[in-house]
């Protein structure tokens, strides 16, 4: 990085983070930390220290070299001796009358990145629609909403749902809970039981979308579970902060607040989505700002949830914790974020304003090849 080329950067960064002014010392620190050569724009994350107004706290951003090293290290080789299932079995719990795209995006993304099998557990209404999007997905039409079950039957039907998911539970490397789940109270009660059962079986979980609505209202479901990953967007993060920290989102002290939130939930890993993705497990905070696109079409968070689930599973399999000095949930989040943003940048290069989530999914393979080529 040259100081000349970065002379206008501090002002832009300050503006992007909402600072009213950036001091000389802050400008110097920004230059020292360096920006990432982003396809889309430069971002380096700097925040005010929570207690001392003038002291800055930096978050170590993931730069391209580290991004490549992480993705290469956790991606399994394509070895002819491996059997079906060893490269990952993912299940998405989501999909209801209103939302069929979200669970599809999440489940198909895991497959396109390299998972062997991807299941979807959804409502009966959503199942035929999701099956028609793709014959690759294994779709279980088992979830029920209040309108389809009489009060007398509610308990017995809920037990059946749980028994059905339980048959598969231990085979899954990771669950994604929430894309397009909806907010029907009866359905959410059943999903609470699924979360409890997954936790008993030590199955990792990525909680997104309406799954976050559920756990925000019932924190005990995930609190203290080290294999839980939450992937909140702006609204979902705000609700979590209000519930757990009894306060409002403080963008000036974003990393510190995220760290506190993760600690407050007993060390679950949280990926706060945004212009810069911030990730913490209550011990450390990292940021991913490389790549990305200015298109904000719906469904990109769903690609991310499926990607994080698969990378987390791979990171656990590869046993790279000591080599990379990071736990599998952090690695899964970082790798998922990098890949999603790389694919979004490729899709935007060719489709510009008409870029859709399905275009980004089509770029997942090319992005994997760019980051971790098949030998």
Ligand X SMILES: NC(=O)C1=CN([C@@H]2O[C@H](COP(=O)(O)OP(=O)(O)OC[C@H]3O[C@@H](n4cnc5c(N)ncnc54)[C@H](OP(=O)(O)O)[C@@H]3O)[C@@H](O)[C@H]2O)[C@@H](O)CC1
Ligand Y SMILES: Nc1ncnc2c1ncn2[C@@H]1O[C@H](COP(=O)(O)OP(=O)(O)OP(=O)(O)O)[C@@H](O)[C@H]1O
Q: Annotated binding site for (6S)-NADPHX, which residues?
A: 180, 233-239, 302
Residue 18 and residue 178: Cα distance in Å, rounded?
31
Pick the closer one to ligand X by CB: 61 or 180. 180
Alpha helix positions (H), the chain:
9-16, 24-33, 64-74, 101-113, 126-133, 154-169, 185-200, 210-217, 234-245, 254-264, 300-318, 321-324, 328-351, 357-362, 364-371
User: What part of residues 292-311 is at the interface with Mg ion (CB under 5 A)?
Assistant: 301
User: What part of residues 249-308 is at the interface with ligand Y (CB under 6 A)?
Assistant: 273-275, 277, 292, 296, 298-302, 304
Distances (CA, A) of 59 to 44, 114, 168, 253, 300: 9, 31, 40, 11, 24
Residue 292 contacts ligand X per CB under 6 A: no
Residue 209 contacts Mg ion per CB under 5 A: yes
| 95 contact choice in ligand X, ligand Y, Mg ion, none (CB below 5 to 8 Å, kind-dependent) | none
| 99 contact choice in ligand Y, ligand X, Mg ion, none (CB below 5 to 8 Å, kind-dependent) | ligand X
Pick the closer one to ligand X by CB: 214 or 324. 214
Residue 359 contacts ligand Y per CB under 6 A: no
Which residue(s) pair with 90 in the sheet? 118, 174
Number of C-beta neighbours around residue 16 at 10 A: 15
Question: Considering CB under 6 A, how many residues would be counted as binding ligand X?
Answer: 17
Annotated binding site for ATP: 273-277, 292-301
* Part in contact with ligand X (CB under 6 A); list of ranges 33-41, 65-73, 96-104, 364-372: 96-104
The answer to whether residues 47 and 255 touch, using CB atoms and an 8 Å cutoff, is yes
Number of C-beta neighbours around residue 183 at 10 A: 14
For residue 217, give the 3-state DSSP assignment: helix
Pick the closer one to ligand Y by CB: 9 or 273. 273
Q: What tokens were used for 24?
A: 């000389």
Residue 69 and residue 283: Cα distance in Å, rounded?
22
Task: Provide, rounded to whole angstroms, the least separation between the CB of residue 181 and ligand Y.
Answer: 12
**x-or-dash pattern for ligand X, window 174-203, by CB under 6 A?**
-----xxx----------------------
* Part in contact with ligand X (CB under 6 A); list of ranges 47-55, 215-223, 232-240, 324-332: 232-240
Residue 236 contacts ligand X per CB under 6 A: yes
Residues 6+ apart with CB under 8 A from 81: none
List residues near ligand X by CB under 6 A.
99-102, 179-181, 209-210, 233-236, 298-299, 301-302
């Amino acid at each position: 990085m040259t100081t000349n080329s970065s002379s206008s950067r501090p002002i832009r960064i300050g503006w992007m983070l909402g600072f009213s002014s950036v001091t000389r010392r802050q400008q110097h620190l920004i230059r020292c930390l360096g920006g990432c050569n982003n396809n889309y724009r430069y971002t380096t994350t700097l925040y005010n220290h929570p207690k001392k107004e003038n002291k800055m706290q930096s978050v170590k951003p993931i730069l391209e070299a580290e991004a490549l090293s992480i993705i290469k290290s956790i991606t399994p080789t394509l070895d002819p001796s491996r059997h079906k299932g060893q490269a990952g079995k993912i299940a998405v719990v989501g999909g209801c009358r209103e939302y069929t795209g979200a669970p599809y995006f999440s489940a198909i993304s895991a497959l396109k990145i390299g998972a062997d099998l991807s299941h979807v557990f959804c409502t009966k209404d959503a199942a035929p629609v999701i099956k028609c999007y793709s014959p690759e997905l294994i779709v279980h039409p088992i979830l029920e909403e209040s309108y389809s079950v009489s009060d007398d039957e509610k308990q017995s039907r809920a037990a059946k749902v749980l028994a059905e998911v339980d048959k598969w539970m231990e085979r899954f490397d990771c669950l994604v809970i929430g894309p397009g789940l909806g907010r029907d109270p009866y359905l959410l009660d059943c999903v609470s039981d699924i979360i409890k059962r997954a936790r008993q079986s030590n199955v990792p979980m990525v909680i997104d979308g309406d799954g976050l609505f559920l756990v925000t209202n019932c924190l005990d479901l995930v609190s203290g579970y080290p294999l839980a990953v939450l992937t909140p967007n702006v609204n979902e993060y705000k609700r979590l902060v209000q519930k757990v920290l009894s306060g409002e989102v403080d963008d000036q002290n974003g990393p510190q607040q995220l760290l506190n939130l993760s600690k407050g939930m007993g060390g679950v890993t949280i990926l706060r989505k945004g212009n810069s993705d911030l990730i913490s497990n209550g011990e450390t905070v990292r940021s991913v700002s490389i790549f990305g696109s200015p298109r904000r079409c719906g469904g990109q968070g769903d690609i991310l949830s499926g990607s994080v689930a698969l990378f987390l599973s791979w990171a656990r399999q590869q046993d790279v914790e000591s080599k990379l000095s990071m736990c599998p949930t952090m690695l899964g989040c970082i790798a998922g974020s990098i890949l999603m943003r790389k694919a979004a940048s490729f899709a935007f290069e060719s489709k510009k304003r008409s870029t859709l989530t399905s275009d980004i999914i089509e770029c997942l393979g090319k992005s994997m090849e760019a980051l971790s080529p098949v030998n």
